[in-house]
Amino acid sequence: QILAQTKRSALCSEGSSNSNSPSKRLRNPLVAVTCNNQIDGTALLNFQPSTSRLAQGCLTKKPSSAQITTRMIPRDGFFVFRTPAMSAHISSGINYFERLSDEILLDIFKWLPKKTLLRMATVCRRFNRCSHDDSLWTRLDLGLRTIRPRALEEIVRRGVLVLRLAQTSIQEPAFAPLTEAFTVRLQYLDLSMASITRSSLLRLLSHCRHLKKISLKN
């Protein structure tokens, strides 16, 4: 009898221990599954930095447009560091063009386009005088353009030697109505397929005493 009670108590204790074993307990399949390192509902999210390039690009803080604009604006002391020679050159207020002779200015002006040369004439009186020098207007090509009224007279008065007006439309009047007699230096004139009236052509030729060759094709 004592042996039977001992076996019964041993079986009961074994049954209770088996009921508490991990294999016998009811398990929630979602407890051990972590979502963004979240174990349960009360745990805080703990995001780890991703190694993907897309995630790194998203996490990288981009500078705002205001910061970029601020970087582009130079500070007040941006030009503080100057050499003594540069500071003296800037603060002296000396016009170095006045120290150049007219010959040097003409040597500079001869490399400028004719359109730029006309703009240089509006800078000052000296530039106006130098820009009208005959050596700067020896050749002039105005082909395929429209010449406004009375501009032809201004062109030939500049001392042009070779003038090309091929396929150019010359608007009337080409010369001022009350113009005193003058003689131009024009030697070669190209009026091929140009639009010019007979009266303007005759008046132009009357001023060309040194003309050597003229083209009136078509």
Asked if residues 149 and 173 have their Cβ atoms less than 8 Å apart, the reply is: yes
- The pLDDT of residue 53: 56
SS3 (DSSP) at 141 = strand
- The pLDDT of residue 46: 47
- The pLDDT of residue 179: 75
Question: Which CATH architecture does the domain made up of 101-135 adopt?
Answer: Up-down Bundle (1.20)
For residue 147, the cross-strand partners are 170
Burial class of residue 184, CB neighbours in 10 A (0-12, 13-18, 19+): buried
Put simply, whether the predicted model's pTM sits higher than 0.85 gets the answer: no
- The pLDDT of residue 89: 60
- The pLDDT of residue 165: 96
End-to-end CA distance of the chain: 146
- The pLDDT of residue 67: 53
Given the structure tokens 């105005």, which residue do they identify? 142
67 vs 69: CA distance, rounded Å: 5
- Decide if pLDDT at 48 tops 70: no
176 vs 149: CA distance, rounded Å: 9
* Of 151, 189, 188, the residue nearest 169 (C-alpha): 151
For residue 215, the cross-strand partners are 190
- Decide if pLDDT at 154 tops 60: yes
81 vs 74: CA distance, rounded Å: 13
Residues with Cβ within 8 Å of 210's Cβ and at least 6 positions away in sequence, in order, are 183, 184, 185, 186, 187
Task: Provide mean pLDDT across the span 71-98.
Answer: 61
Asked if residues 153 and 201 have their Cβ atoms less than 8 Å apart, the reply is: no
Where in the chain are the domains? Answer: 101-135, 139-215
Task: Provide mean pLDDT across the span 49-57.
Answer: 54
